[in-house]
Amino acid sequence: MTDQIAVPEAVSSTDAVTEVNSLTEAVTEPVSVTETLAETPDADAFRSGFVAIVGRPNVGKSTLLNHLIGQKISITSRKAQTTRHRIHGIYTDEHTQFVFVDTPGFQTKHMNALNRGMNRVVTSSLRDVQVVVFVLEALRYDERDQEVLKLLPDNRPVLLVINKIDEVADKGQLFSFAERVAQDYKLSHPAGFADIVPVSAKLGSKLDELKVALRRYLPEGELIYDKDDITDRTEKFLAAEMLREKVFRYTGDELPYSTSVVIEQFKTVGKLRRIHAAILVDKEGHKAMLIGKKGEKLKEIATQARLDMEKLFDGKVYLEVFVKLRSGWADDTRVLRSLGYE
């Protein structure tokens, strides 16, 4: 195996997504720690295990998790730091159960108690899994990614996923990008990446290839969750998250970071769910921004959240949303604990 990368002719064409696969072979070498797992004699035996998805904020980790399991359970937005909790997304087929662990984007600035807690979720998730997926945005690799790279274990397989390849017109550039990152990784992790898989999480392309690559590194084992489960989180948690997503998507730049959501009532009557939710804001002025002119902003947020909940729960939802002032919540460990932050 050579470290040199030869770029095949086909890859320099703009429509070469399918050719990009071969970059894995070109850039990676077999990882000794993973060989025993990858070469388990009975290739058809059932395998199961945990796969952590880590990376800096906004690279598309939650989008990837949702598309890997085929259901939206983890919230996403254009803004960084959307995910605040660890969430398991489960995908089961006849020979594998993958438990994907979505994590918050690793923070390198604004260190309040919330962000420190989010970083702890990342480091503890890395300890508890069999395989790690390190996500980068195609052609972007900077010191924020390197901070995450430093945390990656060297006793378990780490797969590099290069996401958002739909945004790269010249797919040939992905080879030199992958090589640069792989070389940098080897400086601190001599075994190198177990595999490199370019994907578009948003378009769902190359995700089957990613599952095949990941399966090789999962141990033989029984089901960890029921075969029909898609997440470890409760409907109450998911409801709060769907609402928080809409706050992220429908308000300006600053507001989402100073808000949180609590579910004050969650009752299921037949197929109807009655949910009372409160959006906590940090400053009086934020209340007005969230409510909007004649309450229109809040109404839009609540309607969109309700539609997502109905889709996810497959039933009608009656949702009431209140806005409440709770100053300093993001730096108050007691409040954070009550909001479910670890």
CB of 211 to ligand GTP, least distance (A): 16
Residue 251 interaction partner, one of ligand GTP, Mg ion, none, beta carbon < 5-8 Å per kind? none
Point out which span in 26-34, 198-206, 230-238, 312-320 binds ligand GTP (CB under 6 A).
198-206
User: Which helix H or strand E contains 331, and what residues bound it?
Assistant: none
Both tokens of 271, joined, read: 């197929």
Does the footprint of ligand GTP cover residue 80 (CB under 6 A)?
yes
Does the footprint of ligand GTP cover residue 192 (CB under 6 A)?
no
Nearer to Mg ion by C-beta: 21 or 71?
Answer: 71
Nearer to Mg ion by C-beta: 20 or 52?
Answer: 52
Range list of H helices, the chain: 23-27, 32-38, 61-69, 113-127, 143-151, 173-188, 207-215, 235-250, 284-291, 296-313, 333-338
End-to-end CA distance of the chain: 44
Please, which of residues 59-78 interact with Mg ion by CB under 5 A? Answer: 61-62
CB of 204 to ligand GTP, least distance (A): 9
> Which DSSP string do the residues of 71-108 spell out, in sequence order?
S--S---SSS----S-EEEEEE-SSEEEEEEE-PPPP-
Does the footprint of Mg ion cover residue 81 (CB under 5 A)?
no
Distances (CA, A) of 311 to 70, 71, 91, 121, 239: 13, 10, 19, 28, 11
Q: Residue 180 and residue 270: Cα distance in Å, rounded? A: 56
CB of 107 to ligand GTP, least distance (A): 9
Instruction: List the x/- string, 10-49, binding to ligand GTP by CB under 6 A.
Output: ----------------------------------------
The rounded radius of gyration (Å) of the Cα atoms in the chain is 21
Pick one of 167, 170, 254, 296: the residue that binds ligand GTP (CB under 6 A).
167
User: Collapsing DSSP states into helix, strand and coil, what is residue 216?
Assistant: coil
Does the footprint of ligand GTP cover residue 125 (CB under 6 A)?
no
CB of 326 to ligand GTP, least distance (A): 23
Does the footprint of ligand GTP cover residue 57 (CB under 6 A)?
yes
70: alpha, beta or left, given left = phi > 0 and alpha = psi -120 to 50?
left
> Which DSSP string do the residues of 113-133 spell out, in sequence order?
HHHHHHHHHHHHHHHT-SEEE
Total residues binding ligand GTP (CB under 6 A):
24
The residues of the shown chain that bind Mg ion, judged by CB under 5 A, are 61-62, 82-83
The residues of the shown chain that bind ligand GTP, judged by CB under 6 A, are 55, 57-63, 76-78, 80-83, 104-105, 163-164, 166-167, 200-202
